[in-house]
A and B are shown apart, each in its own frame.
Chain A
Amino acid sequence: MAKIYSKKTVVTKNLKPKKEVVSFLLNYSKALTVVKTADKTFEMIAN
């Protein structure tokens, strides 16, 4: 029988980020526009 030295289970399942985080990312994506020119890249965030 194997000895278990760790108290808690190592594998953490079904963890998800906060809804706010996902919502922020989706809004950030909608607001962000990237324009590439020959040698420069411009990022614009719409308010």
Chain B
Amino acid sequence: MAHLNIPDALLVKNYVEGDENALASLIKRHESKIYGFIYSKVNDRDVSDDIFQDTFIKVIRTLKSNSYNEEGKFLPWVMRISHNLIVDYYRKNKKMPMHRETEEFSIFSIMSDNSLTIENQMILDQVEVDLKKLVAELPEDQKEVLIMRMYQDMSFKEISELTGVSINTALGRMRYALMNLRKIIEKHQIVLTN
């Protein structure tokens, strides 16, 4: 390449004066170092490309607006810009972290699915069906209170008003309902688990 031996400072000067090829030479000369630096910090090719691009957009705008003071430190200056953009990237990502799957990091190690597996769901369904059968065996007054309390989520005050008994009676019926359920379960050695 024609620009191979020209120092950075001269290439920058040429670029500021309108030689677009000088920029191509500068990028070609330093792309590996700058990109490698960015990649070593963010570990993601796409993000590295973005930061590399943003870095040089800043470089171009600064050079074109004649705001750059050449002190023979083109590369450290560009590295500083990319470093600041990397910091910005992490600052932004702190609020909304993004994780990409790599060989050593499985995305599923931080994601969990709390819903039941098909098997557990089937067991739960079966337990609920079995329990309903057991409840059906209870005496009518106890069954009524238990269903209102557990399945219809009513308060004992509401139950007492609806059934026309005192709150204490409703509480007593609930208590007997549970005791009877336990007795039936123990007697038949039923296993209700999930």
- Would you call the interface of chain B mostly helix, strand, loop, or mixed? helix
B176 to chain A, nearest CB (A): 63
**CB < 8 Å A-B pair total:** 65
Q: Which of A11, A15, A32 has the most C-beta atoms of chain B within 10 angstroms of its own C-beta?
A: A15
A12 touches B40 (CB 8 A): yes
Closest to A33 in B: B64
Residue from B32, B57, B65 within 8 A of A15 (CB atoms): B32
A16 touches B35 (CB 8 A): yes
Q: List the B side residues contacting A41 at CB < 8 Å.
A: 65
Residue A39 at the chain B interface, CB threshold 8 Å: no
Q: Complex: how many Å from CA A21 to CA B55?
A: 11
Q: List the A side residues contacting B35 at CB < 8 Å.
A: 15-17
Residue B53 at the chain A interface, CB threshold 8 Å: yes
Given A7-B104, A8-B104, A28-B60, residue A21 in contact with residue B53 (CB < 8 A) = yes
Q: Complex: how many Å from CA A17 to CA B34?
A: 9
Closest to A26 in B: B24
Residue A3 at the chain B interface, CB threshold 8 Å: no
Q: List the A side residues contacting B65 at CB < 8 Å.
A: 34, 36, 41, 43
A21 touches B49 (CB 8 A): yes
Q: Complex: how many Å from CA A17 to CA B57?
A: 14
B52 touches A17 (CB 8 A): yes
Q: Complex: how many Å from CA A32 to CA B64?
A: 8
B64 touches A34 (CB 8 A): yes
B61 touches A34 (CB 8 A): yes
Q: Complex: how many Å from CA A13 to CA B39?
A: 10
B64 touches A22 (CB 8 A): no
Closest to B66 in A: A36
Q: List the A side residues contacting B36 at CB < 8 Å.
A: 12-15
Q: Complex: how many Å from CA A25 to CA B53?
A: 7
Residue B31 at the chain A interface, CB threshold 8 Å: yes
Given A7-B104, A28-B60, residue A16 in contact with residue B32 (CB < 8 A) = yes
- Interface, chain A (partner B; CB < 8 A): 7-8, 10-18, 21-22, 24-26, 28-30, 32-34, 36, 41, 43
- Interface, chain B (partner A; CB < 8 A): 20, 23-24, 27, 31-32, 35-36, 39-40, 48-49, 52-53, 56-57, 60-61, 64-66, 103-104
19 additional contacts, CB 8 Å, given A12-B39, A28-B60, A41-B65?
A12-B40, A15-B35, A15-B39, A16-B31, A17-B35, A17-B48, A17-B49, A17-B52, A21-B49, A21-B53, A24-B53, A25-B53, A26-B20, A29-B20, A32-B61, A34-B61, A34-B65, A36-B66, A43-B65
